[in-house]
Amino acid sequence: MAFINENYLKLRGSYLFPEISRRVREYQKNHPDAEIIRMGIGDVTQPLSPAVVKAFREGVEEMSRAETFRGYGPEQGYEFLREAIAEHDYRSRGTDINAGEIFISDGAKCDTGNILEIFGHNNVIAVQDPVYPVYVDSSVMGGRTGEYLDNGYFGGLVYMPCTAENNFIPEIPERKIDIVFLCYPNNPTGASAGRRELKKWVDFARNNKVIILFDSAYEAYITDPEIPHSIYEIEGAREVAIEFRSFSKTAGFTGTRCAYTVIPENLTAFTAAGEPKPLHPLWLRRQTTKFNGVSYPVQKAAAAIYSPEGKIQVRETINYYMENARVLREGLGRMGFRVYGGINAPYVWVNSGKGIGSWELFDKLLHEARVVCTPGSGFGPSGEGYIRFSAFAQRENVIRALERISSIYL
Ligand code: MLT
C-alpha cells in the first residue's frame, strides 16, 4: 500500500491563482461575449527585448551545430551568466557577492519553495501576512506547520501582519523564530523597505542566529534611489541571508524561465549539536542531485540583459509597466479607493475604504466591470478588504479597466 503525504491535505483549496482562473472561466462560460481585462496574476505582457531575442536565437543556432552543441550544462549555471550577475547586480552596486555564490535556476518560485529542504524540521518559520502563498504552502507540504486554523493561519508558523499602519513592514515577532521569509519590494502590497528597516532585520538575525530568506524578485522596479536593491547592501547580511532574484519580471521571462539564488559562502546554520555548517554546499548538493540546470539558450538570453543595449531595452519595458502603475494608482485614487504600492513595485494594493471584503470586491469587478484583480485575502488574513492590481498589462487595457471601474464606482 502506498501512503500519501498527508500534509497536502492540510492545504486550503487550490493555489490562489487557479481559483481566480476558475471563477473567471465560470464567468466567461456564462458570458461568452464578455471581453475580460486581466490584471490579476502578475504575468508580463510585453515581448522579450530585441537583445534578449538575438542572444536566444544565437544560443539555439549554436545548439544546431555539432561544433558548438552543448549537452548538460553546469548545474549551478554557466559561468558567463553567473559572472554577469555578480558584476552588474552586485559589484557595480558596491555589494560583495562573487559568481561562485550564485545558483542559476528556472524560477524564484521553485527556489523559495525548495530552499526549505536544506533546513531542519525543528525551525520556527515566520512569514509576512499578507504573503506570497508559495512560502506558506511549501512549508505546509514539507510538514513544517500544524493544521489550518479558524483564524486563517496555519499552526506552527509565525505570521507577521503587514498593514497600512506599519507601512506593510512587519514588527519583529515576540516569539522565537529561526527562519524568516521577507519579500521586498513586496508582493502583494507593493511596499518597499528602506535601509533602516532592512538593517533592523539583519541586526536581529545576526543577534539571534536567524536566517533571512529574502525574495527580491521585483528589485528592478525600485525607482527611489534610497531603497536597497539587495539585502546584501546591508552590513552583515552575508552572514544571515539568502537572496532570490528572477529574470521573470525584470526581463519578461515568466514563460522563458530563468532566475537565481545567492547563498554566500560564509552563511551558516547549525546542527542539533550547535555546530555551524555552511549552507552553500548543502544547496549545491541539493541542486546537483535534483536539478540539471537551465537550458543554454535561455541562459544566453538572460545574460543579454546585461549588455549595453539589453540594459536600455529592459529599462524601457520596466518604465512602461511602472507608468501603468502610476496610471492605476492615480485613477483608483481619484475614485476614492485607498491606494498603496505601485511606486517601487509593479503591484498596486487597493482598499475600497467601504468595508467590502476582498472576494466580494473581486466578484463585483469581474461581474460588473469585467476586470480581474487578485483578492487580497488570498494572500493572508491581513489582506482582507484589499485587492491587488498588477501593472503588467497593455496600457490601453489599464485605461479601459479604469473607465469600466469608474462607471460602477463614481
Ligand atoms: C503573482 O501574481 O503574485 C506572481 O505572478 C506570482 C509568481 O511570480 O509566481
Distance 372 CA to ligand 1 centre (A): 14
> What whole-number percentage of the chain has pLDDT above 90?
96
DSSP, collapsed to helix, strand or coil, labels residue 95 as: coil
In order of start, what are the domains of the chain with their CATH numbers? Answer: 12-47+311-409 (3.90.1150.10), 52-308 (3.40.640.10)
Cβ atoms of 318 and 220 closer than 8 Å? yes
Average pLDDT for residues 367-396, to the nearest whole number? 96
Residues 6+ apart with CB under 8 A from 70: 62, 63, 296
Cβ atoms of 390 and 40 closer than 8 Å? yes
Residue 27: DSSP 8-state: H
Please indicate whether residue 41, judged by its CB atom, sits closer than 6 Å to ligand 1. Answer: yes
**Of 112, 187, 373, which is best to mutate to test ligand 1, by the most ligand atoms within 8 angstroms of its C-beta?**
187
pLDDT in tens, 221-237: 999 999 999 999 999 99
| pLDDT above 80: residue 14 | no
Please classify residue 82 by burial: count the beta carbons closer than 10 Å to its beta carbon, then call 0-12 exposed, 13-18 middle and 19+ buried: buried
CA–CA distance, 164 with 167 (Å, rounded to integer): 5
Q: Which of 124, 120, 102, 234 is nearest to 180 (CA)?
A: 124
Distance 361 CA to ligand 1 centre (A): 20
Q: Which amino acid, 130?
A: P
**Of 131, 132, 321, 362, which is best to mutate to test ligand 1, by the most ligand atoms within 8 angstroms of its C-beta?**
132
Phi, psi of 240 (to 5 degrees): -135, -5
Q: Which of 311, 246, 1, 268 is nearest to 103 (CA)?
A: 246
Cβ atoms of 338 and 179 closer than 8 Å? no
Confidence of residue 12 (pLDDT cuts 50, 70, 90): confident
Cβ atoms of 66 and 60 closer than 8 Å? no
Q: Which long-range contacts (CB under 8 A, 24 or more apart) does 265-270 make?
A: 265/100, 265/101, 266/238, 266/239, 267/211, 267/238, 267/239, 267/240, 267/241, 267/242, 268/239, 269/119, 269/209, 269/211, 270/209
pLDDT in tens, 103-154: 999 999 999 999 999 999 999 999 999 999 999 999 999 999 999 999 999 9
**Neighbour tally for 281: CB within 10 Å:** 12
Residues 6+ apart with CB under 8 A from 4: none
pLDDT, residue 269, reads 98
Please indicate whether residue 187, judged by its CB atom, sits closer than 6 Å to ligand 1. Answer: yes
* pTM greater than 0.85 (yes/no): yes
pLDDT, residue 16, reads 83
Q: Which of 362, 360, 350, 355 is nearest to 386 (CA)?
A: 350
| pLDDT above 80: residue 13 | no
CA–CA distance, 138 with 135 (Å, rounded to integer): 5
Calculate the average pLDDT of the chain: 96
pLDDT in tens, 180-229: 999 999 999 999 999 999 999 999 999 999 999 999 999 999 999 999 99
CA–CA distance, 18 with 192 (Å, rounded to integer): 27
Cβ atoms of 21 and 151 closer than 8 Å? no
